[in-house]
Structures are given as C-alpha cells and as structure tokens.
Amino acid sequence: MAERAGPALSLFVTGTDTGVGKTLVSAGLLHALARYHPRVVGMKPVAAGTELIDGVAANDDVLALRAASSCRVPPELDNPVLLPDALSPHIAAQRAGVRIDIEHLVACQRALALRADAVVVEGAGGFMVPLSALETGADLAGALGLPVLLVVGLRLGCLNHALLTAEAIRARGLTLAGWVANQVDAAMLAPDDNIAFLQRQLRAPLLARIAYQAAPDPRALTFNLPSAWQ
C-alpha cells in the first residue's frame, strides 16, 4: 500500500467507562469519515479478551474496527497488543507475560497515519485504565497527542464520570474535540435532562446522540462532524 504525502486526520476515542459503546462509535465514525476520506482505518492499540475464530485468536472490537475500515493494514499495526484475558490491560498483560510499550503503540499509530487518510484510535476501557503498574490509557493518549472524542454512556452516574473524564483529558493538555451521548441503559430516567446538563458543562460539541438499541448498526449512526474532519 502506498504511503500518503501528508499527515492523516487522527482521533483518539475514549469513554466514561468500559462498555459504553466506544467500538460502536469508533466504527460509526469510520463510516462517517469514509464519505470524505478514501482511506480510513481503525486502530485498537490494546485489546483484552479473545475467542478462537477458525482456529485464530481474535477480539470482537478489533474485528469490528477492521470491518468498518476501508483499507487493510498489517495486524501488528492496527492491533499491536492482543491479550487473551478479558481483564484490565495491566492484569491481562501480566498474565500473558507481555509488556505494553507506549512508545511502540505511538509508532504504530504514526505508521498507520502514513498509510491512510483518517485514523480512529480506540482506547481500552475508560481514560485512566491501567496499562501497567505505572502507566495508564491517559499516558497513551498524552503520548499520541491526538484530539479526543469522549463517549458518554448514558446511565445513572454518567454526569460525574463525564465531568471527571473531561477534566482528566484537559489536564493532560489534550483537546476534547467532541462527545457522543450513547444511551446504554434503556430504562434510564430523564436522558434529555442529562444531555442538556452535559452540553452546558463539557464545553465541547455534541457530535452524535445514540438511542438505546439492542443490536446497533454503526453504519446507521449520524454524526455532526466538525468541518476540520471533513
């Protein structure tokens, strides 16, 4: 695959917690960006939890991002660290005898940015998820230095989680480029009021609102993309 002449649009997707829809949003974002950029690719630097598919260990999040990407890249670039156990990355890595090297993950992202027009990097878990005894997902985000998109899982407690995460993102000197409201609890009370509060407090644009769906389709998501991403 030929390398591009200029830098690709690159974004880092994080969430208020695990299970809030980061992969859904990342895949949907890839589909949305593909309308403006011929070559888009998703990246999952660290994936924890695998199952055997045709005798090969695979991770659902990684497969979803690859399915939404319009260009194919070596697996060691779009998923440098694949860990067998569905645990916090630092525990999964320790159990697998693997050291998560942030510098290597950054180098992989830079290599992808030479091969694609847009790169969507999905973090593991929440923003501060441990990657080792000393480093977290926030350290990875800081080393990448990319604009951050925050996925807020709409459920009880999301306001506290969203405000804390936004504060942590900005404390690292990163730009909170936007956020997505994803209703993960079908029975959540007053979702509109929660979204209105966050629109006032997060000081970043709401790029998408996703209603609760039992089996959401990332291709059907609608994003209000900033003009700089188009």
120 has which bridge partners?
11, 42
Q: What are the boundaries of each domain within the chain?
A: 11-224
pLDDT digits (tens, 9 = 90+) for 58-90: 999 999 999 999 999 999 999 999 999 999 999
Residue 41 pLDDT level (bands cut at 50, 70, 90): very high
Task: Identify the pLDDT of residue 6.
Answer: 53
pLDDT digits (tens, 9 = 90+) for 87-128: 999 999 999 999 999 999 999 999 999 999 999 999 999 999
| Active-site residue list | 44
Domain 11-224: give its CATH architecture. Answer: 3-Layer(aba) Sandwich (3.40)
Contact 83, 47 (CB under 8 A): yes
Whether the predicted pLDDT of 7 surpasses 80: no
Residue 39 pLDDT level (bands cut at 50, 70, 90): very high
CA distances to 54, 72, 181 from 24, in Å: 24, 19, 12
Residue 200 pLDDT level (bands cut at 50, 70, 90): very high
pLDDT digits (tens, 9 = 90+) for 125-183: 999 999 999 999 999 999 999 999 999 999 999 999 999 999 999 999 999 999 999 99
Cα Rg of the chain, angstroms? 17
Short-list 73, 69, 93, CA closest to 81: 93
